[in-house]
Structure 1
Amino acid sequence: MLVLLISLAILLIVFILQLLYFYGFLKRPVIFKYLFWFVVAVAVLIFIYLTFLQGEIWRQSPLFRFLVPPFKPPLFVIVYNITHLGINYLISLGAAFIFLILAIKANLFFQKRFFEDEEPYLGALAIFILSHPFFLYYLTSVLGLGLLSSVFVSLFKKQKVRLSFYHFWLPLAILVIIIRIIYAR
């Protein structure tokens, strides 16, 4: 539950920064790039710290001390933590990197027709924070809402209008986290 609340707080802070940038109070969108990398770096450092703590707890326990060196290699504790604590975030980190690379490359190829400069980082941040499998629900909801909005606009405006996902990335991620918090209770 603590991880969900921290994730919600991060997304809310980034959403407020997005609003400040959108309304002209922040001048440079590069802050979202740095925020993405900062959150990833902090998450990796926290995981390393938790892995170290897991090893120390096992070392102090008469029952589990056989799971750490000299009885088992240090890699055992690392693999245990990756498979039990970090696998969902490792998968979502891979998905976030794939999304980020594809979004940036597609945007450059199509002369920035699809995304604002900060959008790939906002989407990648949301994908990473939501973790596996919840980022799949998130991406489905972003694409679904984008499709519904586009159909709605084209029906009422009677013209083709390209609708940006700019305002969908963070609010939908926040909604997914809130649903997870409610469901976790």
Structure 2
Amino acid sequence: MLFNLYFVKIALLAIVFLAQIKKRSLSVSFVKYFFLFSFLTIFGINLYYSFLQYQIWASDKIGQYFITEDKSYFPRYLFTHKFFEPYLISLAVALFSFFILRILNRKAGSRFFYNEEPYLCALAIFLSGNPGWFFYLITLFSFHLFLSFFFLIKNKIKSINENTSRVSFLYLWLPSALFVILLSGWLSKFYFWYVLEI
């Protein structure tokens, strides 16, 4: 296909991650607009795929039945097949996570996250798709736990106060999503991916 979503998602995440590494801190407005751009890109590509699917069915006698006789089938097919459903579910999870992070951070006086982090989290979850978002959260917390444990041991060895090195999620949101998307082809061969995809 002309636009392979796999590579588009990797490119979108890579752009933001490289900008994050270069600038150290991204502006909230940049991440907010990039999230909107990513949303429009993914849904625009899916609309294009839907148009192609319609053209294929319209040129086939059996396919024409699903377009002309059972007019409700084609829209249901689009939303429950591979085009929109994975991203509608991940969008819902992304928005839920965004609001939870914002509420928690506000209640804690912005001690937990930098201002751009809820947007980075939402972007990563959305682009992970469904069920990729589930594996994304597992990967994210696994990386965070590993790094926290690593720095705890390192500080114990160097006799440094353990409170001086709290591991931030700031540079974990996007690499965790990239990791899951890169492995999604392999993960999709397993039964648990199929079960979560339904």
TM score, norm. by length of structure 2 = 0.81
Give the partner amino acid of 2:162. Q
In the TM superposition, what are the counterparts of 1:13-92 in structure 2 within 5 Å? 13-22=15-24, 28-69=27-68, 71-73=69-71, 75-85=72-82, 86-92=84-90
- Tell me, in whole angstroms, the C-alpha distance in 2 between the residues paired with 1:178 and 1:18: 20
Give the partner amino acid of 1:163. V
CA displacement at 1:183 relative to structure 2: 6.1
% identical aligned pairs: 32
Which residues of structure 1 form unaligned runs of 5+?
none
Per-residue CA distance 1:124-163 (angstroms, 9 max, x = gap): 1111111112221111121122123223323423422432
Match of 1:159 in 2: 162
Per-residue CA distance 1:4-51 (angstroms, 9 max, x = gap): 12211111111111112217xx6x331011101111122223223322
Give the partner amino acid of 2:63. F
Match of 2:100 among 99, 102, 121: 102
- Tell me, in whole angstroms, the C-alpha distance in 2 between the residues paired with 1:146 and 1:93: 23
More RCO (CA 8 Å, sep 6+) = 1
Give the partner amino acid of 2:170. Y
Tell me, yes or no, if structure 1 residue 111 matches structure 2 residue 109: yes
Aligned partners of 1:4 and 1:181 also within 8 Å: no
Aligned partners of 1:103 and 1:120 also within 8 Å: yes
- Tell me, in whole angstroms, the C-alpha distance in 2 between the residues paired with 1:20 and 1:42: 24
- Tell me, in whole angstroms, the C-alpha distance in 2 between the residues paired with 1:29 and 1:18: 12
- Tell me, in whole angstroms, the C-alpha distance in 2 between the residues paired with 1:76 and 1:21: 48
CA displacement at 1:182 relative to structure 2: 5.8
Tell me, yes or no, if structure 1 residue 136 matches structure 2 residue 134: yes
Q: Identify which range, 131-140 or 146-155, moves more after superposition.
A: 146-155
- Tell me, in whole angstroms, the C-alpha distance in 2 between the residues paired with 1:152 and 1:163: 10
Aligned partners of 1:11 and 1:174 also within 8 Å: yes
Give the partner amino acid of 1:18. Q
Match of 1:171 among 171, 175, 190: 175
* Number of positions where the alignment pairs a residue of Structure 1 with one of Structure 2: 180
TM score, norm. by length of structure 1 = 0.86
CA displacement at 1:181 relative to structure 2: 4.6
Give the partner amino acid of 2:81. H
Which residues of structure 2 form unaligned runs of 5+?
190-198
